[in-house]
Amino acid sequence: MGNKRVVEKNDVVDSMHGQRPGNQDANSLKFLGFGLGLRTEYYDIILEQQPKVDWFEILTENYMVDGGKPLYYLDAIRQHYPMVMHGVSLSIGGTDPLDMQYLAHLKALVQRVQPCWISDHLCWTGQGGHNLHDLLPLPYNEEAIQHVANRVTQVQDYLGRQILLENVSSYVTYSHSDMSEWEFYRAVVEEADCLMLLDINNIYVSARNHHFDPLDYVNAMPKDRVQQIHLAGHSDHGEYVIDTHDHPVVDPVWRLYEQALKCFGPVSTMIERDDRFPPFEELMQELTQARNIGETVFGKAA
Partner 1 sequence: MNLKHLQHSFKSHLFNQESPIAEHIVSDQLSSEFRLGIYANAYATRLIEVLEGDYPVLHSLMGEEAFLELSRAYIQTHPSTYSSLRWFGRHLPEFLQQLQPYKCQPYLAELAEFEWKLVDAFNASDQPAISEHDVARIPPDKWPVLSLEFHPSVHGFQYQWNVLPVWQAHKQGKALPPPEKLHQHQTCLIWRQNLKTLFRTLEPDETQLFAAAQNGADFSELCEMLSDWIEDAEQIPLRAVTLLKTWISQALVADIKY
Contacting residues toward partner 1, per CB under 8 A:
61, 64-69, 71-72, 89, 93-95, 99, 102, 124, 127-134, 136, 138-139, 143-144, 147, 171-176, 211, 239-240, 242
Closest by Cα among 81, 76, 80 to 55: 81
Output 6 or 172, the one with its CB closest to partner 1: 172
Q: What's the min distance (Å) between Cβ of 90 and partner 1?
A: 9
Q: What's the min distance (Å) between Cβ of 146 and Fe ion?
A: 25
Residues 222-261, mask of contacts with Fe ion (x by CB under 5 A): --------x-------------------------------
Find which of partner 1, Fe ion, none residue 17 binds, CB within 5 to 8 Å per kind. Answer: none
**Cα 96 to chain centroid, rounded:** 24
Q: How many residues bind Fe ion (CB under 5 A)?
A: 2
Output 33 or 233, the one with its CB closest to Fe ion: 233
Concatenating the DSSP letter of every residue in 9-52 gives SS-HHHHHTTSSTT-TTT--S----EEEE--GGGHHHHHHH--S
CA distance 189 to 58: 23
Closest by Cα among 180, 178, 177, 245 to 207: 180
Q: What's the min distance (Å) between Cβ of 30 and partner 1?
A: 28
Output 72 or 160, the one with its CB closest to partner 1: 72
Q: Is 48 exposed, middle or buried (0-12, 13-18, 19+ CB in 10 A)?
A: exposed
Binding segment for Fe ion (CB under 5 A), chosen from 14-22, 87-95, 197-205, 209-217, is 197-205
CA distance 158 to 213: 37
